[in-house]
Structure 1
């Protein structure tokens, strides 16, 4: 090799080094320093918090905006992306970069995001989104030609939950980051950020409405009102840890079952203290989470949508190392009666679990649905039936345990007899009926009691009769339910039942719900 040829190669390598060093500065050192000084991580720093050390392979580092005059201030075009490992498992990652045009989406940004998403599907890798950004970039999207090339990609709309999509809102997010979040399987939001279709400034300009970002799309809005976010964190680290915690329950793609977790917790362990959680009086409340903690491996579980629809618990955990989804009524919230929010929450969770081969456990303690004039305005009948439709379409193993009350139509929605369960069993404390004894007696015997010489005594006699009729033994005698079990044997029963229910194809489902919408 001649000296001049060697010099040419060295100059080319040096030029590459300089280009990559400049690309590492994103939108410029001043903007990066401003992010850090205000207590925020940069996009690459967020990725470092997520991935296993030394595993991230960045792709598209030399990208920049294709708008004339923007090249030198748009490294990465507002998106850092690539492939890395999270807890030893390969994943695809994209992180919005606020230092480049406030993280807005230009043509190259969108092209890179679409490619990353397609590659995740192609190679069966989960998609992690560290989101922050201002939506579509005005210059790139303006005009009939600009907007015509930047509508929602069909590939993302038709993906059918082939891989888990896990998103964290780590800065104010409008447009694209919001679309990605509400289409994901799990979303966590950093408190103090906003997630909405458009920001307060655009809203004011378009409608004249003045509103703070917290009122528009702050964490409390999504926690209580929308259910579009599943968990919340005080810090970036907390949000990223929530993403990792959720990921441990997911398969890498739809062709796999979730990973088995090693445990020394005996599957036949007797629950000697489980009855301590159940009040002696049937009308007293208690915390169903305490029973869940007794049942599952090592007492560990992950609650999904903990702040939304609080009368129903949706939980991911393990039984004898196998991932399970638990749907349980929560008696200390509205006595365990589900309203519109709980119905949406149940439907969402059933779709998630069935799409990713996670068996479902149902723990009943509900006096029925929370009906009201407001519930009717929120389409309560439709929401009840959509929940039932999802249940009917699901094909993962399903096991029901009736702990205390299971009344009326809610008995069906909680996967009672004829609703597709592999097994339905009850504790001896179970009450099963069309309606609760008090309500039923008032409806059926109201006038008779009004005319009674001793209405109090007659009511007590009727209550005793109706309580007997509500016991699980009549259903067990006619094989409408499979057994009445000792509550202390519930963990043993569930672990054995799961083993047998998964005998043919493991926990693999037919994934009929994979193409259902990701929001209800």
Structure 2
């Protein structure tokens, strides 16, 4: 590596070296390195650049073959050169060719100045069209293990799953470069720390307290993924009865429309062995996205979260949903929608953030998705949000509702104020008339009217929600398993 002194310096920061991180990731004795004898092609840099600062190879994670790349901070600060860039491209191309997932352990300062200077240097260092047009043939899984600028950031935002270790920074350029180039002075944490990307930008999918936790989460995500786009996700046998009744469902979800609850509790009660793997849990918090299993089959969960904004989605939730639908459809993961939404968060803030466009891009992604899709209306399905959560007409295999579900253009209170406002102002007894109108509106919102006209398939006992999902998912997967047409594989990896 870059010498004992630099290795010790890396350890003094509480961080592992590239080779130590690979040892934590792959199964013992399985790593086969490629390009061990590489070094910089710039005269005079040969002895300073073992492996040219990038450790690449093949290995196994939980017995499954993968490609691994780890940037070596002890060699030129983890900056990439011509040789390491060529090695990375060729190894990734091999991963796509042979259907092997790519794990990246990222820490580095971007392109080396001497390698990138001059018209020839920068021309040789740009991204390639072929490298960007892989159409999600294999999963890309990346950990931000240390400060990452330039190339590791580009790799992160085009990966399928990103975990950022707390205390690291991920940005286009580092604070020092910004100060020199633009005069802006900013701390690394404020520029691209975990909190910014977890809560504001959504450019990481999760955060970790340590490198070990980061690698554990990368491995956990991989357990839900197929090796490549030609395979379905791995099936996992379970002793959890697919027809198990959820006796606490009615305790988890209040019947009162204005009472909040944690949808995650309902999700865990439904899925196999209560195991749920959330994605972007701190971003767009009025919507839950994550991975789980039903009767052994991997599924993607999209669910309203009434704990935040009553489950009303805003611009961030739209981006989060679109990105997740693209991921699931590209890797043959059926989608389960659990609805409890009062609509979208409308207003001037949303309009400034292009919420009409974001709502429709989410709808377009849903329309193009061809994996099996199942929807359950748990409590509320109001307005356009009903469509975005895979309501009737949006390609769901089956749509069911709980008996107390409310389905309508708008909520009763708002609807009555808009439609009957003037009538109520002139009424002799406005409060009594309002009560009658609310009762009538609630009846009209009942799922039984939609079920009677076959807009939805059934009204189910809440305690049978797991049974309904497992049973209908089995039928939905008879012809092609969970295979999709992958119409979203060429969509962007971020929104």
Is 2:255–2:404's contact at 8 Å kept on the other side of the alignment?
no
Deviation by residue 1:97-140 (Cα, 9 ceiling, x = unmatched): 00000000100010110011011101100000000000010000
Q: CA deviation at 1:225?
A: 1.0
1:302 is the counterpart of 2:274: no
Residue 510 of structure 1 is matched in structure 2 by: 485
> 3-state DSSP class of the match of 1:149?
helix
Q: CA deviation at 1:155?
A: 2.2
Structure 2, gaps ≥5 residues long: none
Residue 357 of structure 1 is matched in structure 2 by: 332
Q: 2:369 aligns with which of 389, 394, 403?
A: 394
CA distance in 2, matches of 1:34, 1:405: 55
Residue 233 of structure 1 is matched in structure 2 by: 208
CA distance in 1, matches of 2:130, 2:212: 31
- Root-mean-square deviation (CA, aligned residues, Å) is 0.6
Q: 2:51 aligns with which of 64, 76, 80?
A: 76
Residue 149 of structure 2 is matched in structure 1 by: 174
Residue 16 of structure 1 is matched in structure 2 by: none
> 3-state DSSP class of the match of 1:58?
strand
> 3-state DSSP class of the match of 1:326?
strand
Structure 1, gaps ≥5 residues long: 1-25
CA distance in 1, matches of 2:179, 2:223: 42
Residue correspondence of structure 1 range 70-149 to structure 2 within 5 A? 70-149=45-124
Residue 154 of structure 1 is matched in structure 2 by: 129
Residue correspondence of structure 1 range 457-476 to structure 2 within 5 A? 457-476=432-451
CA distance in 2, matches of 1:146, 1:469: 68
Q: CA deviation at 1:78?
A: 1.0
Residue correspondence of structure 1 range 213-292 to structure 2 within 5 A? 213-292=188-267
> 3-state DSSP class of the match of 2:145?
strand
Deviation by residue 1:214-273 (Cα, 9 ceiling, x = unmatched): 110000110111001000001000100010110011000000000001100000111111
CA distance in 2, matches of 1:508, 1:39: 43
Q: TM-score, normalised by structure 2?
A: 0.99
Q: CA deviation at 1:503?
A: 0.5
CA distance in 2, matches of 1:429, 1:360: 23
Q: 1:370 aligns with which of 340, 345, 359?
A: 345
1:196 is the counterpart of 2:174: no
Deviation by residue 1:163-217 (Cα, 9 ceiling, x = unmatched): 0000000000011000000000000000000000000111111111111111100
CA distance in 2, matches of 1:40, 1:66: 28
Equivalenced residue count is 495
Is 2:279–2:290's contact at 8 Å kept on the other side of the alignment?
yes
> 3-state DSSP class of the match of 1:376?
helix
Kindly report structure 1 stretches of 4+ aligned residues shifted beyond 2 Å.
Answer: none
